[in-house]
Amino acid sequence: MKISYQDGMRFTAEARGHEITIDLPPEKGGGDAGMTPAELLGSAFGACIGVYVISYLKSIKVDTAGTTINVSFEQAKDPLRIGSLHAKVHVPAGIPEDRRVSVKRVAENCLIHQTLCNVPDMEMEFT
C-alpha cells in the first residue's frame, strides 16, 4: 500500500490499483474529502467481519441480501487511541438461533479482529 500526501490534511491510499481518500473534517484542519484514519480503521473492522459472516451465511444457505454492519468506536486518552470498537451485524433474513454462536465465532476470527486482539509488531522508518 502506498499513502500519498495531497494537500491540507488529505491523503490518498493506493493498493492493487484501487484508491481511497483519507481526510479530516474542517474543524481539524481538513477538507472532509474522505473518511478519517480512525473511521477507515472502523470500516476495515466492519468490512472484515462482513466478509467472514457473509461467507459463512452463504455456506448455510441464509439469504444475505441487505446485510449491514454498523460500527462505532470510542476514543481513549493517555495515549490517545481508539479505546473500544462495537460492531452490530444486521441480517434481514435472520440468523437461525442454533447458528448464532457459530456466526459470532466466525466474525471473531476475521483478520482485522484477530490483529487488533493480538497486537502486531509495528515499525516506522523515516527517510
The predicted-structure confidence for 10-44, as pLDDT tens digits, reads as follows: 999 999 999 999 999 999 999 999 999 999 999 99
C-alpha separations of 53 from 50, 79, 94, 104 in Å: 5, 32, 13, 8
Q: Report which DSSP code applies to 35.
A: B
pTM (2 decimals)? 0.94
**Which residues of the chain form CATH 3.30.300.20?**
36-120
* pLDDT band, residue 54 (cuts 50/70/90): very high
CA distance 53 to 61: 12
Superfamily of 36-120 according to CATH:
K homology (KH) domain (3.30.300.20)
What cell numbers appear for 37 in the block? 484514519
For residues 49 and 87, is the Cβ–Cβ distance under 8 A?
yes
Cβ-based neighbour number of residue 77 at 10 Å = 7
Kindly report, residue by residue over 59-95, the tens digit of the pLDDT. 999 999 999 999 999 999 999 999 999 999 999 999 9
How confident is the model at residue 74, as a pLDDT? 98
